[in-house]
Amino acid sequence: MSHAFNLQIIRGIGRLIFDLPGEKVNKFTGEVVEELEKLIDSLKNNTEIKILVIESAKKNIFIAGADIKEIVAIKKQSIAEKLAKRGQDVFNKLEDLPFPTVAVIDGACLGGGTEFSLACTFRVATDNDKVAIGLPEVNLGILPGWGGTQRLPKLIGLTKSLSIILTGKPFDGRKAYALKVVDALIPQEFKEEKLAQFLETIANDSEREKIFKRRKLKGLLEIALEKNPLGRAFLFYKAKKDVWKKTKGVYPAPLKIVELLQESFASPLHEGLKKERDFFSHLAITDISKNLIQLFFIGEALKKDAGEKEKIEPKPIYSAGVLGAGIMGGGIGWAFSNAHIPIRMKDIALEPLRKAYATTAGIYQKAGEHKPVPKNEIRIKMHKLSSTLDYTGFRQHDIVIEAIIEDMEIKKQAFRELENNVRENTIIASNTSTLSIHEMSSVLKNPDRFIGMHFFNPVNRMPLVEIIPGKNTSGQTIATTIALARRLKKTPLVVKDSPGFLVNRILIPYMIEATLMAQEGIDIERIDAIMEGFGMPMGPFILADEIGLDVCYKVCRILAGRLNLDTHHIELLKLMIEKQKLLGKKSGAGFYIHNSKEKYFNKDVVKLVHEVQESYNISPLQIRDKDILDRMVFRLINESGQCLEEAIIERPYYLDMALVMGTGFPPFRGGILRYVDSLGIESVMHTFHYLHERYGERFKPCMLLEDMKRNNRKFYEEAQ
C-alpha cells in the first residue's frame, strides 16, 4: 500500500506531509485513518521532535474531509457509531502527543479536515483565496462526528460555533483568524519564512501563553450569554427558533446539532464525544442523509460533466455585453463583474440602465451584510460594468447575452441588429426562458454561434444555468458557454431546445394546477401551506408573487400554446393583472399584500375567483389535503417523465438536481424522481389512475411511467 504520510525531522522540527496517492485531494479513508493512527502511536515516545508541523503536498488543499462514500454506505447505527469513535480516538491521540502540533492550512480544510486541525495544538492559515475552513456536514444531513461539535465551542465559544456548524458555510483565512479558529494568518508568498517565525514564537513559553490568552478573550455579550445557564438557555432557544424558521423542522440534523450542543457544552471532552457519536450515528443512517449525500455526488458530477458530446477546447472570454438592462440585465451584469469579466450593458433608455446598476450594487451591498467585503474590492468589481444606449464597444465582446422582453418577433429584430454590430466570431446567447433557440437563430447569417444561456432570477442566488444549443449551434459555442458558466460559479446544464426547456417545462404545469385549484374555490393559503409542508421553500402563490404575476402569466400563456395546456386554467392571473393591476411583490400586491417584510392574503383575489367561476360555470370544490398535494406533485412527476421521454435531458439524476437548484424541490427528498422511487412505481401509478379518473386527462401517466410499471423498474436503477 502506498503511504499517504511522509515524516521528516530536521533540527527538532517534524514535518508531516499529507499526500494521498492517486487523488486530487487529501481525504480520510479508512486506510488513511489507520495509517495516521500507527504513525501517531510511533511518535508518542519520540524525544527528537520538539514541534510537529502538519502540511499538505496538494495545491490549494489541506484536507477535504472524510471519504463521503464510506458514510453513504453505512446502513446500521452501530457501524456509524464505530466509524465516529474511530476518528475521535485517532484525533484524541493526536491531541495527546507530548509536543505541540501545528496545522498549516493553505487550501480547503473541510469537515474531518477541520476537526483534525482542531485536535492540533495550533493552527496557521495563509491568505490564499483558496483557503476554505468549515464544517459542512449539516448540508449532508449529518453532524461533525470526529470532535468538531466539542472542540470548536471550547475554542471559540458557543455563539460563533452554533453559526458555523448550523450553516455549514466555509470561511477564508482572514475570517478564521478573526474568529480565533486559527492562531496566525500568514502571507502565502512568504509562507516558509512566516511559518518559521511562528514556530520560534510557540517555542517561547511566554509568547506561547499570549496565543492562549488571545483565544480566551471574549466580548461582554459572549460572557453574559455563555458563562451562565440562563444565558445559554436563551441562546439555545433562539437557535432552535431560527432553525425551525429556516427548515420548518423537515431537516433533523440542525435540530440535533442544537440539542447536542445544549447537552454537551458544559461536559468534559470525553463525555461530549460520546454524545456526539451517538447523535451522529442516528443521523447517518436516515434516508434524508442518504438523499442529501446522493445530491452532493450528483452536483459534483454535474460540475464536471455538463453534457459535452465532444471534448472541445473552449474559447477564452475576455469581455461581454448584455442586451437589455433592468433587473435581469443587472443580475447578469453582477455575475460577470463578480467574476472580474468586463461587461457592457445596452438598453434603449437610461432608466433601465439605472435599474441595472442599482440591482448590481444592491447585490454587492446585501452580500456585504452577511460576509464583509472590502469596499475597494466592490469598487473594482463595479468598475467592470459599463453601459451604452447604442452598440458602442460591442465589437470588442467575445459574447453578448440578450435579456430583453419575452417576445419572439422583438427578439428576432434585436438579433438582426446585433449581428451587424459584433464580430463574426462573437457568441450570441439568449436568456430566454421559453422561446425556441432554433427559431431565434433563423434570422442570423451565422447561426452556429447562437445558443441559449438561461439564468434564473435572482441571478446571484440561483446556481443553475440552462445551456440550450440550437440545431445549428457549433460544438465550440457549446463548450465555450459551458466553460463560461463555470467561470461565473454557476452549474451549467445542457438541455434540448424544447418549449420551456427543462425547469420551466416542469414548473409551469405545477403553477397552472395551483391557479386552477384557486379558481375551483380552494383556499390559496391552504395550498401554499400544504406545499411548504411538503418541503417546497415557498408555496406556488407566494412564488408567483415573487416572480411577478405578469411574468408568470406570459410564460404560462406561451407554454400553454406550445404544450396544449388549457389557457382558461390561468384566467384568474389574467383578471388580476388586467382588472386590478396586481403584479405581485414588485407592485406591493398580488395573491398577497406585501408590506416591508410582512405579507398577508389579498382578499380582493376572492372576488376575482368568483368572477372566473361565473364566467366558466365552475362549482366550488371540496377536496382533501392529500388530493391538493397529489395534484401539485404529480404534475411535476408526469412532466418530468415526459422530459426524459423526449430526451430534453438524458440523465434522471441530472433532472433531479435541476429541480432542486431551479425550483427549490426539497433536497431532503433527493429529487422528484428519487421521490418516485421512494413511493414505489405501483403506488405512484395507483395515484395517477385515481387523479386521472377524478380530475381529468392531464393526469394520464406518460408512457415512460407506464413502461416502468410493466417492467417494475426504478429511475435510479437506470441511472447507476
Neighbours of 19 (CB within 10 A): 16
Q: How many residues does the chain have?
A: 720
* Helix or strand (DSSP H, E) at 598: strand 598-601
Dihedral of CA atoms 22, 23, 27, 29 in degrees, nearest 10, equals: -40
Peptide bond into 458 cis (omega under 30): yes
Query: Amino acid identity of 465?
Result: V
The residue among 540, 478, 546, 466 whose CA lies nearest residue 509 is 540
This prediction has a pTM of 0.89
Q: Report residue 64 CA to chain centroid gap.
A: 18
Reply yes or no on whether the pLDDT at 378 is more than 90.
no
Quote the cell numbers at residue 77: 447505527
Specify the pairing of strand 450-455 against strand 464-469: antiparallel
Which pLDDT value is given to residue 644?
96
Please name which of 382, 389, 335, 391 lies closest in space to residue 357, comparing C-alpha atoms: 382
Pairing label, strands 491-494, 320-323: unpaired
Rounded distance, CA 708 to CA 548, Å? 38
Return all residues near 70 (Cβ < 8 A) that are at least 6 apart.
29, 30, 83
Give the Cα separation of 514 and 540 in Å (integer): 7
pLDDT tops 80 at residue 369: no
Distance (Å) of CA 677 to CA 72, 325, 577, 656? 18, 43, 40, 12
Euclidean distance between CA atoms 128 and 131, whole angstroms: 6
The tally of CA atoms less than 13 A away on the side-chain side of residue 294 is 24
Q: What is the pLDDT of residues 83-107, one digit of tens each?
A: 999 999 999 999 999 999 999 999 9
For the CA atoms of the chain, what is the radius of gyration?
28
Quickly tell me which residue has 407566494 as its cell: 542
What's the mean pLDDT when you consider all of the chain? 93
Distance CA 689, CA 35 (A): 57
Active site (annotated) includes residue 568? no
Q: What mean pLDDT do residues 10-16 have? A: 95
Dist CA 459 CA 364 (whole Å): 12
Beta strand 184-186 with 320-323: parallel, antiparallel or unpaired?
Answer: unpaired
Condensed to tens digits (0 to 9), the pLDDT of residues 107-129 reads 999 999 999 999 999 999 999 99
d(CA 258, CA 269): 17
Render pLDDT for 450-483 as a digit per residue (tens, 0 to 9): 999 999 988 999 999 999 999 999 999 999 999 9
Angle between helices 252-264 and 287-304 (to 10 degrees): 120
Which of 454, 568, 569, 692 is catalytic? The answer is 454
For residue 306, pLDDT over 60 is answered with: no
- pLDDT at position 368 is 62
Domains and CATH numbers, the chain: 5-285 (3.90.226.10), 320-494 (3.40.50.720), 499-527+539-620 (1.10.1040.50), 624-720 (1.10.1040.50)
Residue 566: pLDDT band with limits 50, 70, 90: confident
Q: What is the pLDDT of residue 307?
A: 54
What mean pLDDT comes out for the span 603-614? 96
pLDDT in tens, 485-526: 999 999 999 999 999 999 999 999 999 999 999 999 999 999
Predicted local distance difference test score (pLDDT) of residue 719: 41
State the average pLDDT over residues 4-30. Answer: 95
